[in-house]
Copies of this chain bind each other. A is one copy, B any other.
Amino acid sequence: MTNKEKRQKKVALGIDLGGTFIKSAIVDETGEILSEMQVRTPPGRDVHDIVGEIVKLIGHHQDRHPEIEGIGVGSPGLVDETQAIIRLSPNFPDWNDVHLRSLIAKGTSLPVFLENDVNCFVLAEQRWGAGRKFQNVLGLALGTGIGGGIVIDNKLYRGCSGAAGELGHISVDLWGPKCNCGNRGCVERYLGRQWFIQAARDILDNEEIKTPKQVSELADSGDQTAIKFLEDRGFILGVACTSLIHIFDPQSIVIGGGIAQCGEPLFRGIRKCIEKRAYAILAEKVKILPAELGTNAGAMGAAAVAFEMGNIS
């Protein structure tokens, strides 16, 4: 076999649009990152400025990697069922029905695909990360809010409006505290960043706490109240995970994002709840796993969406 006959690995460009950075990575079909680059998100968050930056990023990568066959873009917010339009986005409050896919597509000859950013994260973890051995994987991203994603038979499940997977808005307490979304007792209301920090300040009686990492450091240093706090937050998340296990009978739930880095006490709480409360026959099988791909997961998953949607792998 000559080199020419060797099948070249397909590559796609994944772009992860965040509130602070636009990250990008060229990824081959095995999940290897060939090149990456990030730029600051234009501070005004104007859609045309952002599209301009994304088109520049595409050009930069294409000059060096002309073999790119497709582009995936992960964006916060509700992506419509045609995967073309951002219906609304908490990170970009002025965005209503923004035709992001066609705006970007005007700036490139390559096919462009759009997907919710957390869906991208979950798809990347299922393909190449913690969930890579499994076909049915749920993912939770513990960030400012709590996002989720559902992979069934190796494919993202999107629902009828493209909005499926809002796993942070599972209510674990019907008369619990009101969530920003209007619902009560959402798991986001206990583990979303602001609520998590507020509760940590109250329970640890420490107004100095500004980040989840500080709580985690206190726990690492042996502070029993901090350890208990993290276990209890894990337990609350475990209640939602238990419901998800009863609903989906999944092979794995992958948990990532900033607060997931609070480590063992948090995961211990999740697992303890599942062990106590989920059907034993299901609890024994399901793997509760920390995400593995780190901050590149979003861009990698956006590339995975290009592979999935563009039939380029």
Contact = CB atoms under 8 A, between A and B. Distances in A.
Contact of A242 (B148, B171, B285): B171
Q: Which of A164, A244, A276, A285 neighbours the largest number of chain B CB atoms within 10 Å of its CB?
A: A164
A162 interface: yes
B150 A276 contact: no
B152 A183 contact: no
Contacts of A46: none
Given A87-B281, A181-B279, A236-B174, A160 B250 contact: yes
A159 interface: yes
A157 interface: yes
Contacts of A243: 169-171, 243
A285 B160 contact: yes
Contacts of A175: 173
B247 A165 contact: yes
A204 interface: no
Nearest to A251: B160
A163 B136 CA distance: 13
A158 interface: yes
Contacts of A170: 243, 246-247
Contact of A182 (B236, B250, B277): B277
A300 interface: no
Q: How large is the interface on A (under 10, 10 to 19, 20 to 34, 35 or more residues)?
A: 35 or more
Nearest to A162: B249
A239 B183 CA distance: 9
Contact of A161 (B169, B172, B281): B281
A248 B164 contact: yes
Nearest to A277: B183
A55 interface: no
Given A161-B282, A279-B163, A150 B247 contact: yes
A136 B163 CA distance: 13
A278 interface: yes
Nearest to A238: B174
Contacts of A164: 247-249
Nearest to A78: B281
A118 to B, nearest CB: 13
A184 interface: yes
28 contacts: A87-B281, A134-B160, A136-B159, A148-B247, A150-B247, A158-B249, A159-B250, A160-B249, A160-B250, A160-B251, A160-B285, A161-B249, A161-B281, A162-B249, A163-B279, A163-B282, A164-B248, A166-B246, A169-B246, A170-B247, A171-B243, A171-B277, A172-B172, A172-B174, A173-B175, A182-B279, A184-B277, A247-B247
Given A159-B250, A163-B281, 5 more contacts: A136-B159, A166-B246, A172-B172, A173-B175, A184-B277
